[in-house]
C-alpha cells in the first residue's frame, strides 16, 4: 500500500490516478490523511495531473486549520492504492513496530485511543448530519464562462481539469466551446449546485488554480431551481 515516492513524477501519477474518483485521501471530508500526504508532496503537481492539482490546492486552503482536522496521522505508506509498494522508510519498519507491543500501556497509547474515539465521534456526527438532511434542498443552476490564455490552449484538457473538481453538492452538466474572437474559444459549462455547500467563489478559486490553461472564469447565468 502507498503512493511510492511522491516527490517523483511516478509517485505523483499514482496520486493523480487515485484521486480521479475521490475528493480526499480517506472518507468524505478533509482529514489527517490528507495532511500526511500533502506534507509528502514537495509542491503543486503539474497542470496535466489535474486531479492531484485540484486536491493539492483544496488541502492547501486548510493550511491554518490542518492541526484541527479529524483523524490520526499515520505513516505515509498506510495510505493509497493497495497494489503499490510502500517505498517510504516507515514501510520497512512497520512489521517490526507491529511486534513491539507494550503490555503495560503508555501515555502515547492512551492519547492514540483518545484521538481514535474523537475521530469516531466526529464521523458519527457527520453521518448523522447527512441522515438528517432537510426534505427541501435549495439548488441553483449556474452557467460558467471559462476563458483560456490564447488560441493554442488545449481546450479538451482545460475542460478535463474543470470537470475534475468534485464536491458534495456539485454536479457538472453539458458544455460547449463558444468563439470569442481571433480564433480563441471559451468553454461554456453548466453545473447544478446545492446552495449551502457550493458557491461561485469556491468554483472560481478552484478553476483558476489551473492557471496553465485558465485565464479567468465568469458567471454567465445564475438561476435558482
For 80-102, what is each residue's pLDDT tens digit? 887 776 666 554 444 444 444 44
Q: What is the pLDDT of residues 36-66, one digit of tens each?
A: 999 999 899 999 999 999 999 999 988 888 8
Instruction: Name the residue range of residue 216's domain.
Output: 139-224
**Cell 478552484, residue?**
206
Q: What percent of the chain has pLDDT over 90?
A: 54
Cα–Cα distances in angstroms (integers) from residue 31 to residues 27, 69, 74, 116, 146, in the given order = 8, 5, 11, 13, 31
Q: Does residue 134 lie within any of the structural domains?
A: no
Q: Which residues contact 192 (CB under 8 A, 6 or more apart)?
A: 139, 140, 141, 142, 170, 171, 173, 225
**Of the candidates 30, 45, 78, which is a domain's last residue?**
78
Question: Grid coordinates representing 208?
Answer: 483558476
**Of the candidates 29, 53, 78, which is a domain's last residue?**
78
Q: Does residue 114 lie within any of the structural domains?
A: no
pLDDT winner (highest mean) among 69-78, 126-135, 181-190: 181-190
Q: Does residue 195 lie within any of the structural domains?
A: yes
Q: Does residue 99 lie within any of the structural domains?
A: no
Q: Does residue 83 lie within any of the structural domains?
A: no
CB 126 within 8 A of CB 29: yes
Q: Does residue 115 lie within any of the structural domains?
A: no
**Of the candidates 28, 45, 78, which is a domain's last residue?**
78
Q: Does residue 98 lie within any of the structural domains?
A: no
Q: Does residue 122 lie within any of the structural domains?
A: no
| Total structural domains within the chain | 2
Q: Which residues contact 77 (CB under 8 A, 6 or more apart)?
A: 1, 2, 86, 87, 88, 90, 91, 94
What's the CATH code of the domain at 201?
3.30.70.60
Amino acid at each position: 500500500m502507498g503512493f511510492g515516492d511522491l516527490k517523483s513524477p511516478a509517485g505523483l501519477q499514482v496520486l493523480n490516478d487515485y484521486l480521479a474518483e475521490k475528493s480526499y485521501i480517506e472518507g468524505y471530508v478533509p482529514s489527517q490523511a490528507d495532511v500526511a500526504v500533502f506534507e509528502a508532496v514537495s509542491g503543486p503537481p503539474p497542470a496535466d495531473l489535474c486531479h492531484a492539482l485540484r486536491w493539492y490546492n483544496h488541502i492547501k486552503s486548510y493550511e491554518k486549520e490542518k492541526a484541527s482536522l479529524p483523524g490520526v496521522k499515520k505513516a505515509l505508506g498506510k495510505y493509497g492504492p493497495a497494489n503499490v509498494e510502500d517505498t517510504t522508510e516507515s514501510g520497512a519498519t512497520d512489521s517490526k513496530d507491529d511486534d513491539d507491543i507494550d503490555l503495560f500501556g503508555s501515555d502515547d497509547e492512551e492519547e492514540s485511543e483518545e484521538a481514535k474515539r474523537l475521530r469516531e465521534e466526529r464521523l458519527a456526527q457527520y453521518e448523522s448530519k447527512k441522515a438528517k438532511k432537510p426534505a427541501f434542498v435549495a439548488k441553483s443552476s449556474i452557467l460558467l464562462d471559462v476563458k483560456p490564455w490564447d488560441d493554442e490552449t488545449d481546450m479538451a484538457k482545460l475542460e478535463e481539469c474543470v470537470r475534475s473538481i468534485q464536491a458534495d453538492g456539485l454536479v457538472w452538466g453539458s458544455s460547449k466551446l463558444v468563439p470569442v474572437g481571433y480564433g480563441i474559444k471559451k468553454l461554456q459549462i453548466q453545473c447544478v449546485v446545492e446552495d449551502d455547500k457550493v458557491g461561485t467563489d469556491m468554483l472560481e478559486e478552484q478553476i483558476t488554480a489551473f492557471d496553465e490553461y485558465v485565464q479567468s472564469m465568469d458567471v454567465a447565468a445564475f438561476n435558482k431551481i
